[in-house]
Each structure stands twice: as structure tokens, then as C-alpha cells.
Amino acid sequence: MSKLFVDEIVHQSSQGSGTITIGASGETINVVGTLQNNGAALISGITMAQQWRLTANLVGDANPISSNLEIVDTGGYGGIGSSMTESSGTFTFPSTGIYLINFNAIQQRLGTEDYVQTYILTTTDNSSYYDSASGYFGASSASALQSGITDFMFDVTNTSTHKVRFRVRQATTSNQILGSSNFNYTTMTFIRLGDT
């Protein structure tokens, strides 16, 4: 095996603006160390994934869900990367990027009527929130449980202005969204898919 010791490789004809090919089709290129793009490390794959949950039952409506929230911490939970932060129901992202946001709610019908609407609300100015995604589901019998999933892909270009909240609206104030601190009932999941 031979080694090539150089400080810089540039294209022979254009001094930095041409295409340089390393290796050939079918070959494996092994990079030992950090591969960079203009000084910044190249990172492949998902770099952030985290799941939150409702820790107690929520009776009636909430806009936004602003209490009894925690990062999942049981059953061998595993997150990736930096954490979301939450204050009074407003979630702040740890870095810019394209995020997949998933809101999974489980409801129990205790009233005479039943439906639940779930919402993912986003803002791009840290002020005006929009119903960016909504789900609707219900049950036909008393005490029945039902679940619904709502999701949204959010382009977070600024962590100070781009934030998210979660909302529920129920048919009667006696119906409840289920929560627990021991296992997952109602959850909010955040996955950073890539750069903005």
C-alpha cells in the first residue's frame, strides 16, 4: 500500500472550480478523520430525534397544551442529539433544519358526545401561530378509547422565531386526552431530517 502526502488538491485547468473525481464506480473510499465542506464537518443521517409525552390526563380543551409535559424517560428510551426545550407549551428547536413533527393523541370518551381535533401550530415570527396540521377522530361508544396522528414537516430557518405548539379541542369538557409518566399515551415526536 502506498501513501500520497499533499496539503491541497485543485483541478488542473481551473484552479478550484472544476470537478475532482476520487476513486471509480464500485470502489469503496475510506475517510479516516473528519470530512469537511468549506471548514464545516459533513454529517450524514439523522442528527436529532426526540420524543415528549403528556404525563397526566387532560380534560376538555387546551390551546396550547402547556403543562404535564416531559421528555420520555422510561422503557429504554433513546433520543439523538440536542434537546428540544419547552416553556408554557411552546417548543423551541435546538438548531435550524427541516423537522418532521408528529403528534399522537389518545382520547377516552366519557361524555355523551365525542370527537377530538388535534392541531400542530407553528410560528415563523415568534408571535402569530397557524394551524399547520389537524387531525379529527372520535368514538361511538361510552368509555371507548381512540387515537389519531397528526404530522407536519417544518422548515426551521431561525430557532428564535420558528416554534411549535400543540392543541386539542374536544366535543365535551368531560372527555379526556390520556397521559402518563410511566409509558406513552399521548406523544410529540421531533425528528430533524436535514439542513434547511
- Is residue 63 one of the residues assigned to a domain? yes
Residue 138 pLDDT exceeds 90: no
Question: When comparing pLDDT for 17 and 157, which is higher?
Answer: 157
Q: What's the pLDDT at 2?
A: 78
Residue 190 pLDDT exceeds 90: yes
Beta bridge partners of 25: none
- Is residue 175 one of the residues assigned to a domain? yes
Q: What's the pLDDT at 81?
A: 96
Distance between CA atoms of 34 and 152, rounded to whole angstroms?
Answer: 33
- Is residue 110 one of the residues assigned to a domain? yes
Confidence of residue 19 (pLDDT cuts 50, 70, 90): confident
Question: When comparing pLDDT for 146 and 152, which is higher?
Answer: 152
Residue 5 pLDDT exceeds 90: no
- Is residue 179 one of the residues assigned to a domain? yes
| Residues 127/85, Cβ–Cβ less than 8 Å | no
Cell 465542506 belongs to residue: 37
At 39, list the grid cell: 471548514
Q: What angle is formed at CA 108 by the lines to CA 104 and CA 109, rounded to 5 degrees?
A: 130
Neighbour count for residue 195 (Cβ, 10 Å):
10
Distance between CA atoms of 134 and 167, rounded to whole angstroms?
Answer: 9
User: What is the count of structural domains for the chain?
Assistant: 1
pLDDT for 38-56, tens place per residue?
777 666 679 999 999 999 9
Confidence of residue 15 (pLDDT cuts 50, 70, 90): low
- Is residue 133 one of the residues assigned to a domain? yes
User: % helix / strand / coil in the chain, to the nearest 5?
Assistant: 0, 40, 60
pLDDT for 54-94, tens place per residue?
999 999 899 999 999 999 999 999 999 999 999 999 999 99
Say which DSSP state 110 is in.
-
Q: What angle is formed at CA 96 by the lines to CA 95 and CA 102, rounded to 5 degrees?
A: 85
Average pLDDT over the chain, rounded to an integer: 89
Supply the CATH number for residue 185's domain. 2.60.120.40
At 59, list the grid cell: 380534560
- Is residue 141 one of the residues assigned to a domain? yes
What residues make up the domain containing 166? 48-194
- Is residue 152 one of the residues assigned to a domain? yes
End-to-end CA distance of the chain: 41
Residue 14 pLDDT exceeds 70: no
Question: When comparing pLDDT for 61 and 18, which is higher?
Answer: 61
Instruction: Provide the percentage of residues in the chain whose pLDDT is more than 90.
Output: 61
